[in-house]
Amino acid sequence: MLLLLACLTLKHLLQEEKEQLNELVIADAKAEYASYSNLLSRDWRFPICTFLGEHIKCPWEAAMMWSESTVLATRQHSRLLSGKLCGFTFSQPDLFKKMIESLPADFTLVHLAMSHNGSLYLVKMHKDRDPIVMPLAPKAKVEDIKSMMERIIDENTKTSSLGKVTKDAKAFWTARRAVDNNLKNLIPRVQEILLGAAAPLVL
């Protein structure tokens, strides 16, 4: 019994230490972003912003980080509203929230974002509510879809070149229709694999 209690206590302490370490890493990343948020280098911006987007608990700050990880339409909209022509980046979630709240009432921004570790996230923003930030698919599922799409692209390239090597119009169009059907069948699979039950959130 004492051994079990000791194991549970140790596990609890290790969990607390892990959480404290995570908080320190997040704090360091936030401080680094605050110092260099004006830099547009993808090699730095993408990993730090997606890391913070995954781990920050505040929905507005997390949504801002996902937006900042890429050149998203919100930045262009913000530039137009502010009158600035270049160099607009968000450094604080309050400014980001203000810009989202300035969007038209019938406008909803849906951002499908790839994280630094290859997983897919959904970020949904509207002026009247807090953002929804949720993981959609791990890297393995994303890679599966990528492979399927690459096969379709290869098939399309091969069949589109058939006209150069054959004069059989029937064979050419049979091959082209097969590619079209494969693409048609792939689209619902992409939705099922990547979006799953979260598909209505994209609407």
Q: Who wins on pLDDT, 69 or 121?
A: 121
Q: Which helix (H) or strand (E) holds 187?
A: helix 169-190
CB of 26 closer than 8 Å to CB of 55 = yes
Q: Which helix (H) or strand (E) holds 143?
A: helix 139-160
Task: Give residue-wise pLDDT tens across range 36-78.
Answer: 887 777 788 889 999 999 999 999 999 999 988 876 544 554 5
Residue 58 DSSP label: -
Residue 70 DSSP label: T
Measured CA to CA, the distance from residue 66 to residue 98 in angstroms comes to 16
- Residue 34's pLDDT band, with cuts at 50, 70 and 90, is confident
Q: Looking at residue 84, what is its pLDDT?
A: 55
Q: Provide the phi-psi class of 78: left if phi over 0, else alpha when psi is between -120 and 50, else beta.
A: alpha
Say which residue the tokens 């972003």 belong to.
Answer: 33
Model pTM score: 0.72
